[in-house]
């Protein structure tokens, strides 16, 4: 059973900048991953109607994310 959880953003009055420097889409074409100049990685849901909605934002990098790659089994 798939459980859907809405992403919750916790910051002040202004959301963090996310100047996209890298982008990729997963093999199942349901998730877009973006890397930013500010060092964040964001996950976005992509619906079959091509509607994009935020899923997660990952902080922690101290430099720009300039490349994204998929892991292979």
- For the stretch 2-50, pLDDT in tens is 665 555 556 667 766 778 899 999 988 999 999 999 898 999 998 888 8
Is 13 part of any domain? no
Is 12 part of any domain? no
* Overall domain count for the chain: 1
Is 38 part of any domain? yes
Residue range of the domain that includes 40: 20-59
Note the pLDDT of residue 63: 92
Burial class from Cβ neighbours inside 10 Å (0-12, 13-18, 19+) for residue 32 reads: middle
């Amino acid at each position: 059973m798939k459980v859907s959880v809405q992403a919750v953003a916790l910051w002040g009055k202004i959301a963090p900048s996310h100047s996209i420097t890298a982008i990729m889409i997963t093999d199942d074409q349901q998730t877009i991953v973006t890397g930013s100049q500010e060092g964040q990685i964001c996950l976005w849901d992509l619906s079959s109607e091509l509607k994009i909605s935020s899923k997660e934002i990952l902080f922690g990098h101290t430099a720009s994310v300039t490349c994204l790659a998929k892991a292979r089994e």
